[in-house]
Amino acid sequence: MTRIGSRMLVAAGLLAAAQVVAAADPPKAVKVYVDGLPANVAEQVKRHAQQGETALRKYLNDSQKMHRLSYEDVTQPRMRPVSDTGGLAREPKKHATDYK
């Protein structure tokens, strides 16, 4: 057997062993906190969290520009709940004359 042939055989064996190891340890579900998120986004986050940490990180990375969520945003509980009022208590000042 040539040198290249033996290297190919070793590489194929290593690949097969890696697949067996990967298949033996299924990914564990991640606990997520989706309070305050829109229903469709919360559903997607929960679905990817059931598939494991890698799937959740990939989904959040792929949807970063749209949803502006990070891994820490959905895996750590909030210190204060999201307000149900949905807005500010008063209108912010917009002009310099509003500060009088």
Calculate the alpha carbon distances from 33 to 11, 24, 59, 60, 77 in Å. Answer: 42, 28, 15, 14, 6
Burial 45-68 (b: 16+ CB within 10 A, else e): bbebbeeeeeebeebbeeeeeebe
Enumerate the domain spans of the chain: 27-78
Per-residue pLDDT of the chain (100 residues; tens, 9 = 90+): 688 788 888 888 888 877 766 666 677 888 999 888 889 999 999 999 999 999 999 999 999 899 889 898 899 887 655 555 555 455 655 666 666 5
Identity at 99, one-letter amino acid code: Y
Short-list 6, 11, 55, CA closest to 29: 55
